[in-house]
Each structure stands twice: as structure tokens, then as C-alpha cells.
């Protein structure tokens, strides 16, 4: 998984800046980037975006080669690749193996797991290990494989792909009884072979680690450098793919207009409807603030979970810089979206025509959005992908909407006091119909004795608490990735 809005050169440069030690100069890092791009045949697509299903980018083969380029920057003595040709057609698979062959010629030992390669691809390898049920039945040069198995009675017909013959005839069993007997025969023959004896002798001759074979140690860059590049990457993503950002603005505008029209011109209502509509509209405003913030945070974080898992496992960055970069970008965006929400709803509904009241309403909405963002981060930290996070969100939002919820209670309580205190309804009042906001607050069962500032403080504490839980959840769920 690679960030789809970045180019090939940008992802390789990111790997160089985040993984190579500070002792290597910027110029040297740039030279390594260009060397890796050239060696893996990525020069023509170096400035092309990675792309995804929705946006066209580089080919599947180029994507795999870009991933390999990111890993070879540290000039490793050994590079292990798990099925680098999986999902590729024969031509593209051959191209990838050719590039790996070129890479091996400059001093990198490459170990590759592969299933049923084409004849041309198979002949590109130098040495071969054949496993059956996890047990070695051959280890030696590719050229010697056919003669080795021919000595056991497995003669590959002319003009047949050796790899295909290996899988279809030697490793293919008719039934369980034949399977066990055939496997034991193959393993026994291998242990009695001259190749096995030579391998044992060569292993005994190795004494300790040869320091010359140790790769240049990759290490994490400073937290500041990590944060800088993560912020830059996310901003580039927003700039090059504005679809998601546009959808978020359209969502909040449409929702705001709908709520505003549902409770349009409350001061013009008669009797008890004025009190009822004020309380109900405030509740919907609070719920919309929280729901929008949760869903936006989940999309921003959980959609990148596979990329985060890969990069964190490979020590590109730590959890705190990644988490901070997301927070620093989501919070300002949340402030803008919440401001749009209240700027539309407030005049349509007809709340108090006072700037102080408006800004107090807005501040409450911003605090609710902060808590919603933190909850979204927590949900994203608990699950492996976007689909699971959205499913979990439903179980959180449903009780929030159906039963009023602990979270929106603090927001509604504060907003009701901001809106109602000292407000004259200017209607004909009577039994059961309050004449002003103070009477409406006194008669409301859900309004507490807390002050507005106490409600704000509780929301702020909840925001900080959910943030801490989010970081702890990230750390807990990634504790085994670097072992």
C-alpha cells in the first residue's frame, strides 16, 4: 500500500528522509533516490502519481518496484521479498524479476518467494529452495534442479516449463497416502544427496557474523522531521485529490440547510411550539456537530490504516508524530466546518440576534466537534480498516441519537442556557406555556444546575481524555508490529 496522491519520486524521497540516518547529507539522500529509481526502471514514471482504483496512476508492476525502491535505500546486504510478482501478468512479472536481477548484480542478495513463475522468469534465478509441506526437498542452482529430480525418476519432458512441471508433477499428490509416502521419499533423497552434504559443510564454515555483510542500519528520523513530512504528505493529498474535501463541505452545507429549514423562524411560532422547537433544534445541532466530526475523523484516519501499518512496521515514523499530524490538520478543518454549520443554521432558525450569543453557541459547537474528532480517532485506533470503523461508529452513534446521550447532554445544556437565559418569547402565555426563556429552563427536566463554563470544561476534559485513549489504543494495537 502506497499513498495514492504522491508520485513515485515523492514516496522514495519520503523513505529516504524518514529512514536514512541524519549523518547522511541531503545531497547524498537525493543521489540514492535517483539511483534507486534508475536501477528499478522507474525513470519514466518518476513524476507520475501512484494512483488507485478511482484515479489512474502507475501500473501494478511499477507500484511493486516503487515499494522495492523504498526498501533498498539503506543498501541492504539482504532483501527479502514475499511474492513480488503476485497479481501481475507474466510480462510484468518478468519485468519485475529483471529489475531485481539488476539489483542483485550491485551487491544485494535477494530472497524471493514465488509461485509458478513462467519459464523465462524461472531461469532468471540463481539458486532455488523447493519446499514441500514446509520441508526442504531441494536447495541448489536452478540449472541443476532438473537433473536432481530426474535422478529420482521425475524427468521433465522437453519444451515444458520446469517450474510448472515442479508444481504439477513433483509437488502434486493424488491422495493423502501418496502424499505422505512421496514427501518422505523426497525429503530422504535430499538428506542423502551430495548437495545437502555440501550445504552442511558450508554452514559449519561460517563463524559468527561477518561485519562486512551487515547493512547500513536504518533508523527513524527525529520526531520533528517525521511530523514535517507527514503534514506535507497530507496537504499534498488534499491538494491533488479534492473530492473528499469537497464532499465534506457539501455534507455540512446540506445538513445545515436541512436543519435550518426544519426549524425555520422559531420566533414566529405560537405558544408552546416556540419552547419545544428551541430545545429540539439545539439537540439536533449538537448531534450533527458530533456525528460530522466523528465520521470525518474516521475517514481521515481509518482509510489510511493499511498504509500506516506498513510504514510504522518498517519504522518510517512513530505513533505520536503520525497522530499529531492528523490532529493538526483535522482540528482547523473541523473549526471551519462547524463555523459553516452554525453560520447557516443560526439565522435560519432564528436564535437570539446577539453576537455574543452566536459566538457562545459556536464555541459550544466547536467543543462538541473536538470531542467528536477524538472519538473518531479512538474508533479508528480500535479497528483495522475503514469498513470496520464505520460499522463500529454506528453502534456508538445509535445510542447517542436515540437516547440523547451523555455527550450531547453537555452541549445541549450549555446551548439551552445561552439561548434561553433572559430571553422574552413575546407570545401570549398561559398554563403550560412559558412566557420567557427562564421559565422554559425552570420547567425543563433535562437542564441541570451546571453553569455554562462547567459544561464547556467537561467537554474539554472529554476531548483530552479521548485523545489519550486514542494514543494508547494505537500503541496497544501496534505493539507487535515491530517485533
Distance (Å, whole) CA 18 – CA 15: 5
Nearest to 390 by CA among 380, 399, 375, 398: 380
Position 213 scores a pLDDT of: 47
| DSSP string covering 159-200 | T--HHHHIIIIIS--SSHHHHHHHHHHHHHHHHTSHHHHHHH
Distance (Å, whole) CA 362 – CA 368: 10
Nearest to 347 by CA among 443, 438, 224, 259: 259
Residue 311's Cα: distance from chain center in Å? 9
Tallying the residues shown for the chain, one arrives at 483
Model pLDDT for residues 211-260, shown as the tens digit of each residue: 444 445 556 678 888 999 999 988 888 888 888 889 999 999 999 999 99
Cβ neighbourhood burial of 390 (10 Å; 0-12, 13-18, 19+): middle
Torsion of CA 244, 249, 250, 254, to 10 degrees: 140
Strands 135-141 and 127-132: antiparallel
* Model confidence band, residue 412 (pLDDT cutoffs 50, 70, 90): confident
Model pLDDT for residues 61-86, shown as the tens digit of each residue: 888 888 888 888 877 778 888 888 87
CA-CA distances (angstroms) from residue 63 to 2, 58, 72, 82?
A: 8, 6, 15, 15
Q: What is the pTM of this model?
A: 0.77
Model pLDDT for residues 298-342, shown as the tens digit of each residue: 888 888 888 888 888 888 888 999 999 999 998 999 999 999 999
Position 214 scores a pLDDT of: 47
* Model confidence band, residue 469 (pLDDT cutoffs 50, 70, 90): very high
Residue 317's Cα: distance from chain center in Å? 13
Distance (Å, whole) CA 347 – CA 268: 13
Residue environment code for 283-292, b if the CB has 16+ CB neighbours within 10 A, otherwise e: bbbbbbbbbb
What lies within 8 Å, CB to CB, of 92 at 6+ separation is 59, 60, 61, 85
Least confident residue range of 174-183, 274-283, 411-420:
174-183
Q: Calculate mean pLDDT across residues 160-174.
A: 83
Residue with the larger pLDDT of the pair 408 and 175:
408
Position 344 scores a pLDDT of: 94
* Model confidence band, residue 430 (pLDDT cutoffs 50, 70, 90): low
Cell 551487515 appears where?
A: 214
Beta strands in 34-152 (DSSP E): 78-82, 109-113, 127-132, 135-141
| DSSP string covering 330-369 | HHHHHHHHHHHHHHHHHHHHT--S-HHHHHHHHHHHHHHH
Strand partners, 113: 82
**88 near 60, Cβ under 8 Å?**
yes
Amino acid at each position: 500500500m502506497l499513498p495514492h496522491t504522491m508520485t513515485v519520486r515523492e514516496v522514495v524521497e519520503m523513505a529516504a528522509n524518514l529512514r536514512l540516518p541524519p549523518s547522511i547529507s541531503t545531497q547524498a539522500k537525493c543521489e540514492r533516490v535517483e539511483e534507486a529509481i534508475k536501477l528499478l526502471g522507474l525513470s519514466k514514471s518518476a513524476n507520475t502519481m501512484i494512483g488507485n482504483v478511482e484515479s489512474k496512476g502507475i501500473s501494478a508492476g511499477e507500484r511493486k518496484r516503487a515499494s522495492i525502491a523504498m526498501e533498498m535505500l539503506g543498501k541492504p546486504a539482504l532483501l527479502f521479498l514475499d511474492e513480488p510478482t503476485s497479481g501481475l501478468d507474466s510480462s510484468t512479472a518478468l519485468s519485475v524479476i529483471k529489475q531485481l536481477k539488476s539489483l542483485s548484480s550491485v551487491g544485494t542478495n535477494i530472497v524471493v518467494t514465488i509461485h509458478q513463475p513462467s519459464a523465462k522468469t524461472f531461469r532468471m534465478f540463481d539458486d532455488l529452495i523447493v519446499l514441500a509441506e514446509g520441508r526442504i526437498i531441494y536447495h541448489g542452482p536452478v540449472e541443476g534442479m532438473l537433473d536432481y529430480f530426474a535422478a529420482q525418476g521425475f524427468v521433465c519432458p522437453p519444451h515444458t516449463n520446469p517450474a510448472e512441471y515442479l508444481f504439477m508433477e513433483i509437488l502434486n499428490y493424488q491422495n493423502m497416502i501418496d502424499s505422505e509416502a512421496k514427501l518422505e521419499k523426497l525429503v530422504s533423497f535430499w538428506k542423502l544427496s551430495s548437495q545437502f552434504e555440501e550445504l552442511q559443510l558450508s554452514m559449519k564454515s561460517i563463524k559468527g557474523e561477518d561485519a562486512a555483510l551487515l547493512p547500513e542500519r536504518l533508523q527513524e528520523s527525529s520526531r520533528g522531521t517525521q511530523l514535517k513530512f507527514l503534514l506535507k504528505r497530507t496537504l499534498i493529498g488534499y491538494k491533488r485529490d479534492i473530492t473528499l474535501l469537497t464532499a465534506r463541505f457539501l455534507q455540512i452545507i446540506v445538513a445545515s440547510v436541512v436543519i435550518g429549514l426544519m426549524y425555520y423562524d422559531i420566533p414566529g411560532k405560537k405558544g408552546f411550539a416556540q419552547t419545544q422547537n428551541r430545545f429540539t433544534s439545539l439537540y439536533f445541532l449538537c448531534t450533527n456537530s458530533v456525528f460530522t466530526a466523528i465520521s470525518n475523523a474516521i475517514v481521515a484516519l481509518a482509510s489510511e490504516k493499511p498504509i500506516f501499518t506498513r510504514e510504522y512496521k518498517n519504522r518510517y515514523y512513530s505513533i505520536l508524530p503520525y497522530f499529531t499530524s492528523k490532529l493538526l490538520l483535522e482540528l482547523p478543518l473541523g473549526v471551519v466546518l462547524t463555523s459553516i454549520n452554525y453560520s447557516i443554521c443560526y439565522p435560519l432558525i432564528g436564535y437570539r440576534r446577539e453576537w455574543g450569543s452566536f459566538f457562545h453557541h459556536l464555541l459550544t459547537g466547536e467543543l462538541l466537534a473536538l470531542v467528536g474528532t477524538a472519538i473518531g480517532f479512538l474508533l479508528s485506533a480500535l479497528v483495522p480498516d475503514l469498513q470496520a470503523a464505520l460499522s463500529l461508529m454506528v453502534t456508538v452513534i445509535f445510542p447517542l441519537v436515540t437516547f440523547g446521550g451523555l455527550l450531547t447532554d453537555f452541549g445541549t445544556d450549555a446551548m439551552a442556557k445561552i439561548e434561553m437565559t433572559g430571553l422574552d418569547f413575546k407570545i401570549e402565555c398561559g398554563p403550560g406555556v412559558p412566557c420567557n426563556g427562564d421559565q422554559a429552563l425552570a420547567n425543563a427536566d433535562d437542564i441541570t444546575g451546571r453553569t455554562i463554563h462547567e459544561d464547556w470544561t467537561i467537554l474539554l476534559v472529554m476531548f483530552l481524555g479521548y485523545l489519550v485513549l486514542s494514543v494508547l489504543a494505537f500503541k496497544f494495537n501496534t505493539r507487535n508490529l515491530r517485533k
